[in-house]
């Protein structure tokens, strides 16, 4: 009986790794972005900071709240680059206060190449 109580108590607890849903590791970064979308009633336009990045997603601290499922367009102002990285389609996967994460849909070939080069230079610099 005592053993069953212990099992029941631990079933509600999850380690961070057991609830991690990301399939691609993210790189910690900090640079500006602008985002826009339509939440069903209003057009939203916000800006903020990219806090982590991968080929599959972006972690953002923004100034305009978003809801899970909202489709966004992103302009990432990569350091040392004149033109922003343009991401036409991204979907808000989670949102807590001013922090949210987006899953990226397919990037154009040039934009995907720019992101891969940027991520590679970041990982080399952090090694």
Q: pLDDT at position 69, please?
A: 95
Task: Provide the number of structural domains found in the chain.
Answer: 1
Question: Are residues 82 and 75 in contact, defined by beta-carbon separation less than 8 angstroms?
Answer: no
18, part of any domain: no
Bridge-partner residues for 60, per DSSP? 50, 100
What's the pTM value of the predicted model, to 2 decimals? 0.76
- Say whether pLDDT at 110 is over 90: yes
* Tens-place pLDDT, residues 68-89: 999 999 999 999 899 999 999 9
* Contact in structure between 107 and 8 (CB atoms under 8 Å): no
Distance CA 90, CA 5 (A): 44
- CATH number of the domain to which 112 belongs: 2.40.10.220
What is the biggest distance separating any 2 CA atoms in the chain, rounded to whole angstroms?
A: 66
Domain that holds residue 36: 24-126
Joined tokens for residue 88:
């036409």
Please indicate, yes or no, if residue 4 is contained in any of the structural domains: no
User: Please, are residues 72 and 91 in contact by the beta-carbon 8 Å criterion?
Assistant: yes
Report, as an integer, the average pLDDT of 51-59: 93
Q: What is the pLDDT of residues 12-37, one digit of tens each?
A: 333 334 334 545 567 788 999 999 99
User: Closest Cα to residue 46, out of 10, 100, 121, 5?
Assistant: 100
């Amino acid at each position: 009986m005592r053993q069953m109580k212990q099992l029941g108590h631990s079933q509600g607890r999850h380690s961070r790794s057991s609830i991690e849903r990301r399939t691609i590791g993210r790189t910690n970064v900090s640079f500006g972005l602008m985002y826009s979308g339509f939440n069903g009633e209003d057009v939203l336009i916000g800006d903020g900071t990219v806090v982590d990045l991968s080929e599959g997603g972006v972690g953002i601290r923004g100034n305009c709240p978003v809801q899970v499922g909202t489709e966004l367009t992103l302009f990432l102002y990569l350091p040392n680059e004149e033109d922003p990285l343009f991401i036409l389609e991204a979907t808000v996967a989670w949102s807590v206060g001013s922090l949210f994460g987006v899953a990226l849909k397919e990037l154009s070939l040039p934009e995907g190449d720019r992101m891969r080069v940027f991520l590679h230079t970041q990982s080399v610099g952090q090694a």
